C-alpha cells in the first residue's frame, strides 16, 4: 500500500451472546500490519507491549492463548479494538464501536517505534 493507509472500516462485526458461552463476533474487518523485516513473535509482542505501556492506552492481555492478544482502549480517541501478534504480523481487529482514528494512531506509533522499518497494511473484510 502506498502512502498512509486510511483504516476505513467497511464492515463491523456483530456481537452475539450464545447461551452460557460468553461473547462471539461474526463478520467484521481486520487490518494486518506486516513489517518489511522478519520479526519473531516474541520480538513483535515486545514492540506492541512497549507501545501499549507508553500510552495513551488502557489494555489487558488474554492468558492461555496460542498467541499474544490484547484488548486495547485508546484513551484519547475512546476507540476499543483487539491487537494480536501472529505469523510475523500485528493484527488489529475491529470491534462493533471501533473507529478509524484509534487504529490509525496505533499504526503510527508502531511505525514510529522503528523508523527504519516499512509496514505493509492489508485489510481483510468478512461480511
CB atoms under 10 Å from CB of 125, counted, come to 12
Least confident of 53-67, 89-103, 109-123: 53-67
Whole-angstrom CA distances from 15 to 25, 38, 70, 109 are 5, 34, 18, 28
**Mean pLDDT throughout 18-22?**
79
With beta carbons less than 8 A apart as the criterion, state whether 95 and 68 touch: no
Considering Cα of 70, then 51, then 54, then 97, what sign does the dihedral take?
negative
C-alpha span between 82 and 66 (Å, rounded): 15
Residues 75-101 as b or e (16 or more Cβ within 10 Å = b): eebebbbbbbbeeebbbbbbbeebbbe
User: Per the structure block, which three cell numbers stand in for 27?
Assistant: 463478520
pLDDT of res. 24: 81
pLDDT of res. 54: 92
User: Per the structure block, which three cell numbers stand in for 26?
Assistant: 461474526
User: Model pTM greater than 0.75?
Assistant: yes
pLDDT of res. 39: 85
Reported as a pLDDT band with limits 50, 70 and 90, residue 1 is very low
Higher pLDDT, 65 or 31: 31
The residue behind cell 496460542 is 66
**Mean pLDDT throughout 61-90?**
89
Whole-angstrom CA distances from 102 to 19, 48, 61, 110 are 32, 15, 18, 12
Amino acid at each position: 500500500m502506498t502512502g498512509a493507509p486510511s483504516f476505513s472500516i467497511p464492515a463491523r462485526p456483530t456481537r452475539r451472546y450464545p447461551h452460557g458461552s460468553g461473547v462471539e463476533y461474526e463478520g467484521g474487518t481486520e487490518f494486518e500490519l506486516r513489517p518489511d523485516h522478519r520479526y519473531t513473535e516474541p520480538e513483535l509482542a515486545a514492540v506492541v507491549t512497549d507501545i501499549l505501556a507508553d500510552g495513551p492506552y488502557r489494555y489487558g492481555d488474554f492468558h492461555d492463548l496460542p498467541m499474544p492478544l490484547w484488548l486495547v482502549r485508546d484513551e484519547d480517541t475512546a476507540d476499543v479494538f483487539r491487537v494480536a501478534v501472529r505469523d510475523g504480523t500485528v493484527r488489529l481487529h475491529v470491534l462493533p464501536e471501533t473507529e478509524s482514528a484509534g487504529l490509525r494512531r496505533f499504526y503510527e506509533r508502531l511505525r514510529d517505534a522503528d523508523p527504519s522499518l516499512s509496514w505493509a497494511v492489508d485489510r481483510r473484510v468478512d461480511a
